[in-house]
């Protein structure tokens, strides 16, 4: 006996699903098909004869050493950004979850940065961490070029990762705190009775039980780091992809190419490659990391 609730007719469920289907078709499949078409043609921006050029756009993209540079930068950004975000969120969540006196306001405060738009955060950090005028100016005065994101690509990359982590740590914090609250109190209390300190309890009990949440955040944050609107916004407002392509992440490159360069074809080819890369990464994550995750 099938216990699932089932509709008797086919049209009623279709009707319920229709709005969602229309939205997906309109805002996902249609643009995706347009990008696909664009990637294989060369068309003047104002329209006109779209000439089919086969894989020429892709060849051009792959032949460009700066493209591979941007793939590397994106990887470094997404990986470091994700790890930093999850680590900070986890530490904050563990601290708040201990419910020490006065921890309630922090629960609220830690979420706040998530409410700020990425470009705005980027703009603020550009000033706060600018080498000649910001917080580091006095350090730079004593040790020249100790911190100079306008000069060193590595510093610039750290800068954009800091902004990204600052903003998104609030997001991971919410999920991790919710996860922690579902860890049975009795387990933690028992461990405490046995003389485990907070760190030991976190490592041996809470983090293993958080594995599904951590895995979910890993996938989400990696995707966000690669293609998120914030990633573009932060880079555009802080470093402009510089110095000398030091923070030229893939999304930044695509938007620049499409809208400043009016090279829709090349940008479409790049986005298809990016979509492919994300599929591969997500696959790897599910294939190799999810195996270590126990849901029950």
Q: Give the interface with other proteins as residue ranges (CB under 8 A).
A: 42-49, 51, 60, 126-127, 130-134, 137, 149-151, 238-240, 242-245, 256-257, 259-263, 265-266
Task: Write the DSSP symbol of residue 52.
Answer: E
As given in the structure block, the two tokens for residue 65 are 């050493």
Residue closest to 239 by CA, chosen among 168, 161, 145, 170: 161
Q: Any bridge partners for residue 42, and if so which?
A: 51
* Residues 47, 267: Cα–Cα separation, whole Å: 16
Q: Cβ closer to other proteins: 136 or 165? A: 136
* Closest distance of CB 18 from other proteins, Å: 25
Q: At what angle do helices 264-284 and 207-227 cross, to 10 degrees?
A: 170
CB of 207 to other proteins, least distance (A): 38
**Rounded to whole angstroms, what are the CA distances from 239 to 56, 60, 150, 160, 166?**
31, 26, 8, 8, 17
Q: Compare residues 53 and 95 and give the one whose CB is closer to other proteins.
A: 53
Pick between residue 24 and residue 135 the one whose CB is nearest to other proteins: 135
- The least distance separating other proteins from the CB of residue 163, rounded to whole angstroms, comes to 13
Beta carbon nearer to other proteins, 172 or 238: 238
Three-class SS of residue 184? coil
CB of 223 to other proteins, least distance (A): 26
Choice between 152 and 281, CB closer to other proteins: 152
């Amino acid at each position: 006996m099938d216990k699932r609730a089932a509709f008797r007719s086919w049209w009623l469920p279709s009707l319920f699903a229709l709005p969602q289907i229309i939205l997906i078709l309109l805002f996902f499949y249609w643009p995706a098909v347009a990008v696909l078409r664009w990637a294989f043609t060369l068309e003047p921006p104002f329209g006109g004869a779209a000439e089919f050029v086969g894989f020429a756009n892709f060849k051009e993209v792959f032949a460009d050493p700066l493209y591979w540079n941007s793939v590397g930068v994106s990887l470094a950004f997404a990986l470091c950004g994700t790890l930093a975000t999850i680590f900070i969120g986890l530490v904050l969540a563990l601290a708040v979850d201990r419910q020490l006196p006065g921890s309630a306001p922090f629960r609220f405060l830690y979420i706040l940065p998530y409410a700020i738009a990425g470009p705005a955060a980027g703009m603020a950090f550009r000033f706060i961490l600018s080498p000649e005028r910001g917080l580091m100016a006095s350090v730079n005065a004593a040790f020249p070029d100790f911190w100079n994101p306008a000069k060193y690509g590595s510093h610039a990359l750290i800068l954009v990762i800091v902004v990204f982590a600052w903003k998104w740590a609030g997001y991971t914090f919410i999920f991790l705190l919710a996860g922690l609250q579902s860890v049975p109190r009795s387990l933690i209390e028992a461990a405490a009775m046995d003389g485990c300190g907070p760190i030991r309890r976190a490592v041996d009990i809470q983090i293993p039980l958080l594995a599904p949440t951590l895995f979910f955040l890993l996938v989400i944050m990696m995707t966000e780091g690669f293609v998120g609107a914030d990633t573009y916004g932060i880079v555009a407002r802080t470093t402009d992809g510089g110095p000398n392509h030091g923070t030229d992440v893939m999304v930044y490159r695509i938007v620049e190419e499409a809208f400043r360069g009016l090279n829709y074809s090349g940008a479409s080819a790049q986005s298809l490659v990016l979509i492919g890369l994300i599929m591969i990464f997500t696959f790897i994550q599910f294939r190799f990391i999810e195996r270590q995750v126990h849901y029950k």
